Amino acid sequence: MNESAIRILIVDDDSDDFVLTRDMLNEIKVAKYELTWANTFETALQYVNDRSFDIFIFDYQLGAHNGLELLEEVKKNGNKTPVILLTGQGDRDIDLIAMKAGAYDYLTKGEVHPSLLERSIRYALEWRKMERSALPRERTG
C-alpha cells in the first residue's frame, strides 16, 4: 500500500468496540490509517455525505438503526466508498443481504483479527479501484 494514510470512517455506537477496532488497525504495520469515529447513525450520515473517506466500516447494530440502513443511505446518495460491515452476530442471512446491498465484506467481531481486517480493507480498496477503471470514460469535446 502507498505511504499516504487510508482514511476510514468507523461507525459503531459502542465505544469499547470502536477501541477494539482502532487497536486492531494500530497493530497493522503495512499501512497507515487515519480514523474518524461516528457513534450514531445521524452523525455517520453527516460524515458519509462529505465523501472524504477511502473506506467505511459500519457496525451492524446502531441503536434504532443498523448498518444495512446506513449502507442503503450511502448508495442512495451515490457515494461509491467501499463499506465493510462488522457484526457481533455471525448471521449468514444478513451476510448475504449485506453483499447484495453492496457491502464489500461482512466480518464477525469475535472472529476478526488484525490481518483479516487489513486484508478485507485492502481487497475492498482494490475492488473499488478495479470498478473505477472499468467505468466508461466520459467524452469531452
CA–CA distance, 83 with 54 (Å, rounded to integer): 9
- What SS3 class is residue 37? strand
Secondary element (H or E) of residue 44? helix 41-50
The mean pLDDT value for 90-97 works out to 83
Q: What is the mean pLDDT of residues 95-124?
A: 93
| Per-residue pLDDT at 11 | 97
Q: Would you state the pLDDT for residue 15? A: 94
State yes or no: pLDDT of 3 exceeds 80.
no
pLDDT score recorded for residue 77: 87
Residue 136: the pLDDT is: 67
Tracing cell 497507515 back to the chain, one arrives at 32
**pLDDT score of 137:** 60
Strands (E), the chain: 6-11, 33-38, 55-59, 61-62, 65-66, 83-87, 105-108
* Residue 141: predicted pLDDT: 46
Kindly tell me if the per-residue pLDDT of 115 is higher than 70. Answer: yes
- Rounded Cα gap, residues 24 and 115, in angstroms: 9
Judge whether residue 34 has pLDDT over 80.
yes
Mean pLDDT of 26-38: 94
Judged against a pLDDT cut of 50, whether residue 12 lies above it is answered with yes
Residue 59 has pLDDT above 90, yes or no: yes
Instruction: Count CA within 13 A, CB hemisphere, residue 59.
Output: 26
Rounded distance, CA 8 to CA 135, Å? 24
**Averaged confidence pLDDT in the chain:** 89
Give all domains of the chain, ordered by start, each with its CATH number: 6-134 (3.40.50.2300)
